[in-house]
Structure 1
């Protein structure tokens, strides 16, 4: 079993999950950023030798999270589909089967930059699509990590990773959460997404993900 890490933010308790997701117990909401469904398929359509099975692994992880945590809503913080090439029959059929298993669960997508290129998910998936910000409680749920004038921002887009340094030249690059004073970043959920290195400073806390656990960086 993985180990969650509770943090308190804007008067609410949030759980950082090592599956690269966030759970908000008071709202029974599961938050996911940057799945990029169909990215590998889009690259393969261009003749690039990239892994197969990423959509299946992402869906399996979502199923696992939904079985572990009582959810009244699933919210995607942008970049549900990667691009126009993501509308392959294999990707869309897999998503349709997954959605059918959770037909009664309300799902919302906050449109991100890749969603604008890929187009909204097919209507048959029954996913409500909204523009950012989506205001919920004390938070502004967004794709872009742009400060909000009133609320704490929970965002994706950056795909944050942090490099831990050991002895000599040893180092380890890990996906992470960045919890700031006004803006907090979620890691990319997708299995084939890459990452952007970020640095720790006095205005944010870094929580890296490894061995199915969350580790605060001191």
Structure 2
């Protein structure tokens, strides 16, 4: 597994996302975009595809996070000290991934499932772009996921959210049922090291932004709680 895959569990399209996501779809209304924004699924897809192509061609590392994202400006807006730099120790500080969607699949043998769900639900096409930064000694990760289907981007990102925020099953289920709406940013439960924003897309689809502190032990307090939520809000504002 590459460093980027460790940072982005969403790229693995874990079956847990399907199970929790399917359960959440019927109860959450927060994912329906309301009005056009500045970023579209097609734009995210194009960027993700180019990142994959460049890596396959052996081209050098990206010098900046795509979409004109300015972490230094966002840190200042959130009142967080420090000068950011892309995490050059990572194999790919800027990475992309795509999925072409899947038709409904049969449940694994022996797995129980809701009677109203005779098969694993279909998964829509998606595109995923991630960036890894260092702010002082802390690591900060960004993941932007876009999909063609309204209201499901958070559901598809649940495995990555659980990993980044260190959420237990009950907190994850609560998030699935109470998701941020378009234009909203939510600090996730746990240690306050992850925040989630929903971007109102241009055209159809759904886009979410996850900003999290990548830590192995004690997190950097300057990048937790409300300051981190404000940071994610500021970055999301740059994408509108």
TM-score scaled to structure 2, two decimals?
A: 0.23
Between the two structures, name the one with larger relative contact order (CA 8 Å, sep ≥ 6). 2
Which structure has more helix as a fraction of its residues? 2
Structure with the largest fraction of strand? 1
